[in-house]
Structure 1
Amino acid sequence: MKLIVWHGADVQFFGIDWVGINPENGRKLMLSAVFVIAILVTSGLVRWLVGRVLARGDYASTQTKFWTRQGFSLMSTIFLILGLLSIWFNDPTRLATAFGLVSAGLAFALQQVVTSVAGYFVILRGSTFTVGDRISMGGVRGDVVRLGFIQTTIMEMGQPPSIQGADPAMWVKSRQFTGRIVTVANAKIFAEPVFNYTRDFPFIWEEMAIPITYQADRGRVEEIMLEAAKLHGIDPNAMASEAKADLQVRLGIEPIELDPRVFFRITDNWLELTVRFIAATHQIRGVKDAMSRHIIVGLDKAGIGIASATYDIVGFPPVELRASQVSQTDRAIVP
Structure 2
Amino acid sequence: METFLEQTIYDPTIGKIIATIIGVIIIWLVLKVVQNRLFNNIEELHQRYRVKKASSFVGFLLTVVLISVIFSDKLGGFTVALGVAGAGIAFALQEVIASVAGWAAIMFGGFYKTGDRVQLGGIKGDVIDIGVLRTTLMETGQWVDGDLYNGRIVRIANSFVFKEPVFNYSSDFPFLWDEIKIPVRFGSNYDLAETFFKSSLDEIISKFSETAATTWKQLVKKYLIENATTKPMITMIFNDNWVEFTLRYPVEYKRRRITKDKLFRSILKQIESSDGEVKLASATFEIVDGSGIKVKVEK
Equivalent residue number for residue 235 of structure 2: 263
Q: Provide the C-alpha distance between the structure 2 equivalents of 1:98 and 1:268, rounded to a whole number of angstroms.
A: 78
Q: 1:299 aligns with which of 268, 271, 277?
A: 271
Shift of 1:46: 4.1
User: Larger Rg: 1 or 2?
Assistant: 1
* 1:266-287 CA distance string (max 9 Å, x none): 3332222111111112222221
Q: Provide the C-alpha distance between the structure 1 equivalents of 2:17 and 2:93, rounded to a whole number of angstroms.
A: 26
Equivalent residue number for residue 285 of structure 1: 257
Equivalent residue number for residue 69 of structure 1: 52
Q: Provide the C-alpha distance between the structure 2 equivalents of 1:242 and 1:87, rounded to a whole number of angstroms.
A: 56
The 1:97–1:320 alpha-carbon spacing in structure 2 relative to 1, beyond 3 Å, is: same
The 1:101–1:38 alpha-carbon spacing in structure 2 relative to 1, beyond 3 Å, is: farther
Shift of 1:77: 2.1
Q: Does 1:151 align with 2:123?
A: no
Equivalent residue number for residue 233 of structure 1: 205
Q: 2:282 aligns with which of 284, 299, 308?
A: 308
Between Structure 1 and Structure 2, how many residues are aligned? Answer: 289
Shift of 1:237: 6.6
Shift of 1:259: 1.2
Instruction: Report the residue type matching 2:226 in the other structure.
Output: E
| TM score, norm. by length of structure 2 | 0.83
Q: Provide the C-alpha distance between the structure 1 equivalents of 2:153 and 2:295, rounded to a whole number of angstroms.
A: 69
* 1:105-134 CA distance string (max 9 Å, x none): 332111211111010111122211111111
The 1:230–1:110 alpha-carbon spacing in structure 2 relative to 1, beyond 3 Å, is: same
Q: 1:128 aligns with which of 106, 111, 114?
A: 111
**Structure 1, gaps ≥5 residues long:** 9-22, 159-169, 322-335
Q: Provide the C-alpha distance between the structure 2 equivalents of 1:135 and 1:27, rounded to a whole number of angstroms.
A: 51
Larger fraction in helix: 2
The answer as to whether partners of 2:118 and 2:127 remain within 8 angstroms in 1 is yes
Larger deviation, residues 99-108 vs 76-85: 99-108
SS at match of 1:187: helix
Root mean square deviation of aligned Cα: 3.1
Q: Does 1:319 align with 2:294?
A: yes
Larger deviation, residues 209-218 vs 234-243: 234-243
Q: Provide the C-alpha distance between the structure 2 equivalents of 1:49 and 1:30, rounded to a whole number of angstroms.
A: 29
SS at match of 2:73: coil
Q: Provide the C-alpha distance between the structure 2 equivalents of 1:308 and 1:90, rounded to a whole number of angstroms.
A: 85
SS at match of 1:211: strand
Shift of 1:244: 2.4
Q: Provide the C-alpha distance between the structure 1 equivalents of 2:259 and 2:69, rounded to a whole number of angstroms.
A: 59
The 1:236–1:95 alpha-carbon spacing in structure 2 relative to 1, beyond 3 Å, is: farther
Tell me the percent identity. Answer: 30
Instruction: Report the residue type matching 2:106 in the other structure.
Output: I
| TM score, norm. by length of structure 1 | 0.75
Q: 1:168-317, aligned counterparts within 5 Å?
A: 170-235=142-207, 238-239=210-211, 243-302=215-274, 303=276, 304-312=278-286, 317=292
* 1:211-246 CA distance string (max 9 Å, x none): 222322222222222222222124477327762233
* 1:57-112 CA distance string (max 9 Å, x none): xx612112112212212211221221122123237855754653353133211121
Equivalent residue number for residue 106 of structure 1: 89
SS at match of 2:254: helix
Equivalent residue number for residue 47 of structure 1: 35
* 1:286-322 CA distance string (max 9 Å, x none): 211111111111111123332222434565644387x
Q: Which has the higher contact order (CA 8 A, sep 6+)?
A: 2
Instruction: Report the residue type matching 2:72 in the other structure.
Output: F
The answer as to whether partners of 1:119 and 1:187 remain within 8 angstroms in 2 is yes
Shift of 1:42: 4.5
The answer as to whether partners of 1:234 and 1:280 remain within 8 angstroms in 2 is no
The 1:197–1:308 alpha-carbon spacing in structure 2 relative to 1, beyond 3 Å, is: same
The 1:138–1:320 alpha-carbon spacing in structure 2 relative to 1, beyond 3 Å, is: closer
Larger deviation, residues 33-42 vs 241-250: 33-42
The answer as to whether partners of 1:120 and 1:148 remain within 8 angstroms in 2 is yes
Instruction: Report the residue type matching 1:309 in the other structure.
Output: A
**Structure 2, gaps ≥5 residues long:** none
Q: Provide the C-alpha distance between the structure 1 equivalents of 2:255 and 2:61, rounded to a whole number of angstroms.
A: 41
